[in-house]
Chains A and B, each alone.
Chain A
Amino acid sequence: MYEKDGEKYYVVDSHIHFWNGGASNQKNRYGAGFTGCFYDYQKNLSPSEWVWDLEKFGSYTEDDLLHDLFDVGYVDKGIFQPTYLTDFYTEGFNTTERNGALAEKHPSRLITNGAWDPRDGEAGLDALEALHERWNLKGVKLYTAEWKGDSKGWKLTDPWSYRYLEKCEALGIRNIHVHKGPTIYPLNRDAFDVADVDEVATAFPNLNFIIEHVGLPRLEDFCWIATQEPNVYGGLAVAMPFIYSRPRYFAQIIGELLYWLDGNRLTFASDYAIWQPKWLVEMFVDFQIPEDMQGEYGVLTTEVKKKILGLNAARLYGFEVPAEARITTPGPTTGESIGSAPVDETHPVTA
């Protein structure tokens, strides 16, 4: 928990990784390229004291993760979002199994999501069920840009994807995290826009679709869809670190998101180990929309910050929030949200 000026913030880091991206696990030049891209993100958007060397970045340790998230990073709960990338990495990049092993050792702090790929067909449905039994999944992470043999990507609207979403619904896996972000390499011209989210969000109103990286670099497409679909959420991984290097741009992103959605549908994430949560949490709590932009965007209230940092994700995942960090009074959302609100604001946020 983070405390500042007498306010307590329950922190859920809803997008973290324990990857093995080092040279020994890289299958080919694509693996080297993928780790390298992530590393450039860290180097480009972190304060210098948080930039590692490439070797550590490729294969940091369990101790690094625990220290950065929990000893210094204020994180109360961390949610692993696996990305397999088995065409790039011999043992996979960041698998449910690798994440889950760590989560099992620290059950009060860490949980792992699973993943599926519609191109695995019938066998993949069984594998998902087994994964769910083994790890008690509350969510999955989908990576539509993943390569698999000759295929360089897939869409949420592919027929087999519907089968998997139905399976998730049947198993009670309600949180569907979808990567729609800047690593954009499926060749199909449609594979990295967010339109496919629109269709499945309508088709599966009982599932929550958390769009990681809030659609960047297609922020407006994401906002447009989220406005129409109350079960679409925005994960702030990759958007968060702009708070340090480009605070005015960060204000614009948050301002736009709060306008089109509202404060109940955004979730904090560091994307660890690309970025460390410590400085993100500190800067976010201290952050305010610059005065000359407040006419357009309003201000960020403490309540909205509390929701974004942890309460929204806690609600999606059923984490119990300590009483002192809850919000029990109706909180106004910042700005002039025109989105459809998914929650009753007078309802206390608890498990």
Chain B
Amino acid sequence: MSRGDEVWSALGAVRDPELDEPITDLKFVTEVEISGGDVRVRLRLPTYFCAPNFAYLMVADAHDVLTSLDWTHHVTVRLDDHFASEEINGGVAADAGFSGSFPGQAEGELEQLRNTFRRKAHTACLERSCRSLLEEGWEIEGLTRAHLSDLPSGSATESLLRRRADLGLTADPQAPLLVNDDGTPVDDVPRRLRYARTVRVSIDGNGIFCRGLLETRYGTADIEGTFSGIEVRKAS
């Protein structure tokens, strides 16, 4: 694999925590520059006021995955066109943490936020997997007896297994499918599934909204973007 491919593949593991999609698919990565062991990456987001804690997570995660490649020497990740670009870029470069990047303005670090969205991502993936079983003829009540091995192979199942791993849940084929985020069995299956569907609708909808706003802001091949009214240099 070329170094360029390695960088792209590493960045593909960085997800927007709320949308649960890779920043590479979301077109948040606008530039990758590799020079020997030095890597420079530029990121952009759908709005000028995207939540700074999410923005920080993505910039810091991108920095981490690139630093952990065994050949990288110096990694620079820059977020463009965001109201807090300066603080975030400086904070990540200095390894200051979120609170250190916004002294006096941010309480605590972001692990709790990250965990909230890991749980949501698991819930949404679980709903997709259960829906595929129901389409195959399973009954809702029977789902308590479903195991991971009952799932069809494919990307939906892989996604679920990845989300389980994020939460520290087992990928053993004999493990029950329908568990809460802490691994305990679900007792009210219809209600859990109903809530899970709302979570999935919410996450899907956010993705639609963000993709649309990114296009509006930066344009596509046919449409000129607006840059949210801010005069800035367009990332190439």
Measuring CB to CB, which residues of chain A are less than 8 angstroms from any residue of chain B? 29-30, 32-37, 39-41, 43-45, 54, 150-152, 182-185, 187-189, 192, 216-220, 223-224, 242, 245-246, 249, 252-253, 256, 259-260
> Given the complex of chains A and B, what is the CA–CA distance between A151 and B53 in angstroms?
15
Segment 10-62 of B: residues with Cβ below 8 Å from A: 18, 47-53
Q: Is the CB of B47 within 8 A of A40?
A: yes
> Given the complex of chains A and B, what is the CA–CA distance between A29 and B84 in angstroms?
11
Q: Is the CB of B106 within 8 A of A189?
A: yes
- Distance of B212 from chain A, by nearest CB (Å): 5
**Among A40, A182, A184, A252, which residue has its beta carbon within 8 angstroms of that of B201?**
A252
- Nearest 10 A/B pairs, CB to CB: A36-B229, A36-B228, A33-B48, A219-B202, A44-B216, A220-B198, A217-B206, A187-B106, A184-B51, A44-B212
- Asked, given contacts A40-B47, A216-B205, A253-B201, whether A33 binds B228 with beta carbons under 8 Å apart, the answer is yes
> Given the complex of chains A and B, what is the CA–CA distance between A45 and B227 in angstroms?
16
- Distance of B139 from chain A, by nearest CB (Å): 16
B138 contacts the other chain (CB 8 A) = no
Q: Is the CB of A44 within 8 A of B213?
A: yes
Chain B interface size, as a band, is: 35 or more
Known pairs A219-B202, A224-B195, A253-B201. 11 more at Cβ < 8 A? A30-B83, A34-B48, A36-B48, A150-B104, A150-B105, A185-B50, A187-B106, A189-B112, A216-B209, A249-B201, A256-B198
**Among A35, A185, A217, A260, which residue has its beta carbon within 8 angstroms of that of B205?**
A217
0/1 string, B105-123, CB within 8 A of A gives 1: 1111010110000001000
| Chain B, residue nearest A216 (CB) | B205
The listed residue with most B CB atoms (<10 A of its CB), out of A34, A44, A245, is A44
> Given the complex of chains A and B, what is the CA–CA distance between A46 and B194 in angstroms?
31
**Among A37, A220, A252, which residue has its beta carbon within 8 angstroms of that of B47?**
A37
- Asked, given contacts A32-B229, A33-B48, A246-B208, whether A189 binds B110 with beta carbons under 8 Å apart, the answer is yes
Contacts of A188 in B (CB 8 A): 105-107
| Chain B, residue nearest A218 (CB) | B202
| Chain A, residue nearest B204 (CB) | A249
- Asked, given contacts A40-B228, A150-B105, A223-B198, whether A187 binds B52 with beta carbons under 8 Å apart, the answer is yes
> Given the complex of chains A and B, what is the CA–CA distance between A29 and B86 in angstroms?
13
**Among B51, B194, B198, which residue has its beta carbon within 8 angstroms of that of A185?**
B51
| Chain B, residue nearest A215 (CB) | B202
Contacts of B108 in A (CB 8 A): 189
> Given the complex of chains A and B, what is the CA–CA distance between A43 and B216 in angstroms?
7
> Given the complex of chains A and B, what is the CA–CA distance between A182 and B202 in angstroms?
12
**Complex A-B: 13 CB contacts under 8 Å:** A29-B83, A32-B229, A40-B216, A54-B226, A150-B105, A151-B105, A185-B49, A216-B205, A216-B206, A217-B202, A217-B205, A223-B198, A253-B205
Contacts of B217 in A (CB 8 A): 40
**Among A34, A245, A256, which residue has its beta carbon within 8 angstroms of that of B212?**
A245
Contacts of B50 in A (CB 8 A): 184-185
Contacts of A218 in B (CB 8 A): 202
Contacts of A151 in B (CB 8 A): 105
Contacts of A150 in B (CB 8 A): 104-105
Contacts of A220 in B (CB 8 A): 120, 195, 198-199, 201-202
Contacts of A43 in B (CB 8 A): 216, 226
> Given the complex of chains A and B, what is the CA–CA distance between A32 and B232 in angstroms?
12
Contacts of A182 in B (CB 8 A): 47, 209
0/1 string, B159-195, CB within 8 A of A gives 1: 0000000000000000000000000000000000011
**Among B48, B104, B201, B215, which residue has its beta carbon within 8 angstroms of that of A37?**
B48
